[in-house]
Structure 1
C-alpha cells in the first residue's frame, strides 16, 4: 500500500506507521533473542528479574505480530533485558533499511529516522530540540578537555626526559599547545554550563578532574552592605 501525505483524508494509512514501528521492535527483539540463544521464556524471566514482568506468550505474540499494542515501558524493559537501548529496538539501524519518522511520512533511511528521533539531526517538524544539542556539545567539550590534558601531561613528561635540547624544545612547544587547547575548551565549557543554568536547567555532572571549571557563586549582598 502506498503511503499518503498529510493532505489525504483517508485515515486507513495511519495503522501502517504503527504496524511498521511494532514490526521494527518485534523483529529486533526476535533477532537479539536468537543471537543470545535465549528462548522466549528466558527473556520473560529476565524481564521479571528486572522488575517488569512480560509473560512468554506476550513476547511470542509480539514477535509474531499478533500483539495489538506495544507500551513504551515494555520496549524499555525488553531493551534492558536484551542488553541494548530502546532506540535500537525502535530503529534497528543496519537491520531495517528504511522506516517512517511519523504517520503519512515517506520512507527514509532508518539511520536518519533514529538521528531525528534523538535530535541529533534537525527535523523540519521539530522547532525545539530542548537541551539535547547543548548536552551533546557539553559531552564533546568534556572529551576535548580531557584529551588535551592527557596530551599536556605526556608532553610535560617528554620534556623532562628529553635527551637533547631539540627534543626538549619540541616537547615544551607541544605542552604549551595542548595546555592552550585545554584552556580554550574549558572556557567554552564554562560558558555552556552558564547558558544551561540560565535556561533554568541543571548542567551535566563534571568528571572529578574538571570540577574546577565551575566558578562558585559569590555572595554580593555582603559586599553591598559594606
Structure 2
C-alpha cells in the first residue's frame, strides 16, 4: 500500500483527539464546548469525522478540516490555532511536494521567516503587520507589569522609581502602537486610561482617528483638574 503523506488536516485531526483526551472530554463534550463558543454546527459526529478523516481503504482522508472549524476548535480546546497544526513528531506535509518541520512551520505561519531562503520584499511587507502586533503585545505586557509595580510601590523613593519605570514603558508602548493606530487598530487589551495618558503626554498623536474622539473626554477632564 502506498504511504499517504500526513496533511495539515491529518495533524489537526490527531491534535484534536489528543487535546480532547487531555481535557478528559468525550466527542459530545467537545461539541458542547464548541456550541458554547458559537460553533453549534460542530457536532459530536463532526468531531469524530474530523478526528478520523473517514479514510478510504487506501488511507486517504475523505473529511478535511475547514478554516472555520480549525479556528472554532482551537477556541473550544483553549489552545493557539497553530498548536493544532503541530505534529507530535515528524514534519507536516503542507502540500504533497512541500513538508516542513515544526520550527519551520511555526516561524513561517507566524510571519517570522519565509518558507525558505531569504524573505522577499512581498513577504516582508505582508509579514510586517504581524510583527507589529507581536511588538505591541509585548509592550502592553511590559507596561502592565510596570503599572502593577507602580501601584504596589511603597515609600517616596520606591514610588518615584516605579512611576518613572512605568512612564518609560508607556513611551515604549506608544512607539509600538503608532503604526497600528495609524492603520485604524486599537488593541482590545489596551486600557483606555493609558491612551489618555500617552496622548496628554504627547507620546501618541491625539489626531489619530481611532482614538481621537475617545481621548477628548480624558483631555478635557485633565484640563479641568489643572484649572482647579
Distance of 2:179 and 2:77 partners within structure 1: 37
Judge conservation of contact 1:28–1:89 (CA < 8 Å) in 2.
Answer: yes
Give the CA deviation at 1:154: 4.2
Query: Where in structure 1 do 4 or more consecutive aligned residues deviate above 6 Å?
Result: none
Structure 1 residue aligned with 2:26: 39
Provide, for residues 70-124 of structure 1, a one-character-per-residue CA deviation record: whole Å limited to 9, x for no partner. 21112222223333342221225xx33533556633432x2441232122x2223
User: Which structure: larger Rg?
Assistant: 1
Unaligned runs of 5+ in 1: 1-12, 160-171, 219-226
Cα deviation code 1:31-79 (max 9, x no counterpart)? 1222233333333344345343234343323222323322111222222
Q: Which residue of 2 aligns with 1:204?
A: 187
From the superposition, tell whether residues 100 and 144 of structure 1 become closer, same or farther in structure 2 (CA, over 3 Å): same
Q: In structure 2, how many angstroms separate the alpha carbons of the residues matched to 1:150 and 1:38?
A: 37
Count of aligned residue pairs for this structure pair: 185
Q: Structure 2 unaligned segments of length 5 or more: list them.
A: 55-61, 201-205, 213-228
Considering Cα pairs closer than 8 Å and 6+ residues apart, tell me whether 1 or 2 has the greater RCO. 1
Cα distance change on mapping 1:42 and 1:102 into 2, 3 Å: same
Structure 1 partner of 2:91: 98
- Deviation of 1:186 after TM superposition, in Å, equals 2.2
Q: Which residue of 1 aligns with 2:41?
A: 53
Please say if residues 12 and 85 of structure 2, whose CA atoms lie closer than 8 Å, have aligned partners that are also in contact: yes
Partner of 1:8: none
CA distance in 2, matches of 1:138, 1:115: 18
Alpha-carbon distance change, 30 to 130 in structure 1, aligned in 2, over 3 angstroms: same
Q: Residue in 2 aligned with 1:213?
A: 198
State the alpha-carbon separation in 2 of the partners of residues 131 and 151 from structure 1: 30
Return the TM-score normalized by structure 2. 0.64
* From 81, 88, 100, the counterpart of 1:86: 81
2:155 counterpart residue number? 158
- SS of equivalent to 1:131: helix
Match of 1:181 in 2: 165
Please state if 1:70 is matched with 2:83.
no
Q: What's the Cα RMSD here? A: 3.2
